[in-house]
Amino acid sequence: MECPFSLEINDKEDQDDPMEDPDEHLMKQEEKNKLEPVDDFQVYQPPDPKSTFDADLITKKKESDRIAHIKATVIDDDEPDFEKDDPYGRSRKHAWVFINKAKREVSDPFFVEPSTGRKYSVEDAPYFSIEAIFNHKNYWINMDPSRGLDEINLEFE
């Protein structure tokens, strides 16, 4: 099918533009008076945007993970052990682990209760007295078991 319109376009490029802006000549002058670029000019680079909400979520997650790890690995209940009335009283025997400060990097000697895993200092131990203590070389016997822990010398050198 042939085009019904004329294909000749008269764009009048050779004539002046009748719609010329009155201040267009100023723009042409500004192009002539361009400023030279300055070499010592530095562009400020803003830091990458960071979400404070995401940072708070990450710190809360780390804190909850740390608390969960502590709860899973540390026995730390401040409730006193339930001790019913014992008819044998001080005559009942009990075994525990004594950690001495002898040649270890331990500042103070302490007791470890094997049934709960709790650590007791010598002053705060719930034990009445010591009947015997042994290690891989020696066996010490308390000749007067009626003496309390505060009266016993725990230096086993």
Does any domain span residue 156? no
Does any domain span residue 8? no
Q: Which H/E stretch holds residue 28?
A: helix 24-32
Does any domain span residue 109? yes
Place of tokens 């000549």: 25
pTM of the predicted structure, to 2 decimals: 0.43
Q: Domain limits at 131?
A: 93-147
How do residues 55-99 score in pLDDT, each as one tens digit? 999 999 999 999 998 887 776 666 666 566 767 776 777 788 888
156: pLDDT confidence band, cut at 50, 70 and 90?
low
What are the strands, taking DSSP E only, across the chain?
Answer: 97-99, 110-112, 119-121, 132-134, 139-141
Instruction: Give the number of domains in the chain.
Output: 1
According to DSSP, the β-strands at 139-141 and 132-134 are antiparallel
How do residues 36-50 score in pLDDT, each as one tens digit? 767 777 778 888 888
Does any domain span residue 127? yes
Does any domain span residue 98? yes
Does any domain span residue 59? no
